[in-house]
Amino acid sequence: MTRPRAFRRSDRRQPLGEATRAWLLTGSAGAARSSLEDFLKQHHPHQMRQLWRARRDELLPDFIAEHPGRRPHAWWCFDAPEPARRRLGGTGRPAHECTAYVEVYDFGIPRHWVESWMVRYFSRDFRGIPIDRRDPPTYESEATYLKRHGLLSAVERAGLAGDAFEPETITEGGDDDDTRVERRYHLDRRVHEERRPCH
């Protein structure tokens, strides 16, 4: 089996492709058309980890300055002290807890959730519970997660929006992979049909 190519030191100085940069920051290639190399990097987490480590000091400070209380996708994949944020309440179960879905997180929140069709399709012993729109799952905000882990600097805290510590609510998007998080302040992120998991 061929191992992914390790990035050379010179890769640090090469400009990032638009799709690769978008993936590191948002988890999506956005509207950028991936080159073959970008495509391969997105499919080899080992390579993306190396690339993030080489570019972290360049990308992270600018990201934090623009989005205080938040962290980019690659940080959540490769640097976060815990993969998931704390759940605070609500009704609904992540699909990986009761189906064969792989455990995957987007910005610390499970990507896949039990849906109504699963409850109808599986046997009556199925323990999955779909999201209740009247009582949706809520999670601590990214700012709360960072504060809890001692990763929120005084300078960053001063730039936070007034509701940065308010919980975030999970809402159903209607399709299998389309569960969304209602955020009070968003990245400039265009939803892409091929978001790549961290692992």
Task: Answer whether residue 44 is part of any domain.
Answer: yes
pLDDT tens string for the chain (199 positions)?
555 555 444 444 577 888 788 889 998 766 665 665 666 656 678 888 999 999 999 999 999 999 999 999 999 999 999 999 999 999 999 999 999 999 999 999 999 999 999 998 987 789 899 999 999 999 999 999 999 999 999 999 999 999 999 999 988 644 444 445 554 434 433 333 334 455 5
User: Within this chain, do residues 166 and 119 fall inside the same structural domain, yes or no?
Assistant: yes
Task: Answer whether residue 191 is part of any domain.
Answer: no
User: Within this chain, do residues 51 and 118 fall inside the same structural domain, yes or no?
Assistant: no
User: Within this chain, do residues 21 and 38 fall inside the same structural domain, yes or no?
Assistant: yes
Domain of 21 in residue numbering reads as 1-79
Kindly give, in sequence order, each residue whose CB lies less than 8 Å from that of residue 94, ignoring residues fewer than 6 positions away: 103, 110, 112, 113, 114
Which of 20, 54, 79 terminates a domain? The answer is 79
pLDDT the model gives residue 31: 60
User: Within this chain, do residues 32 and 103 fall inside the same structural domain, yes or no?
Assistant: no
- The strand pairing partners of 138, in sequence order, are 89, 169
DSSP the chain: -PPPPPPPGGGGGSPPPHHHHHHHHHSS-TTPPPPHHHHHHHT-HHHHHHHHHHHHHHHHHHHHHHSTT---HHHHHHT-SSSSPPEEE-S--BGGGTSS----EETTEES-B--HHHHHHS-TT-------TTS--EE--HHHHHHHTT---HHHHHT--TTTTS-EEEE--SSTT--EEE-SS--S----TTPPP--
Query: How do residues 2-40 score in pLDDT, each as one tens digit?
Result: 555 554 444 445 778 887 888 899 987 666 656 656 666
Distance CA 178, CA 196 (A): 13
Note the residue count of the chain. 199
Task: Answer whether residue 41 is part of any domain.
Answer: yes
pLDDT the model gives residue 156: 96
Which of 79, 113, 132 terminates a domain? The answer is 79
Task: Answer whether residue 196 is part of any domain.
Answer: no
User: Within this chain, do residues 100 and 66 fall inside the same structural domain, yes or no?
Assistant: no
pLDDT the model gives residue 184: 40
Pairing of β 180-182 and β 109-110: unpaired
User: Within this chain, do residues 72 and 9 fall inside the same structural domain, yes or no?
Assistant: yes
Q: How many domains does the chain have?
A: 2
Task: Answer whether residue 194 is part of any domain.
Answer: no
User: Within this chain, do residues 110 and 47 fall inside the same structural domain, yes or no?
Assistant: no
User: Within this chain, do residues 9 and 45 fall inside the same structural domain, yes or no?
Assistant: yes
Which of 79, 97, 131 terminates a domain? The answer is 79
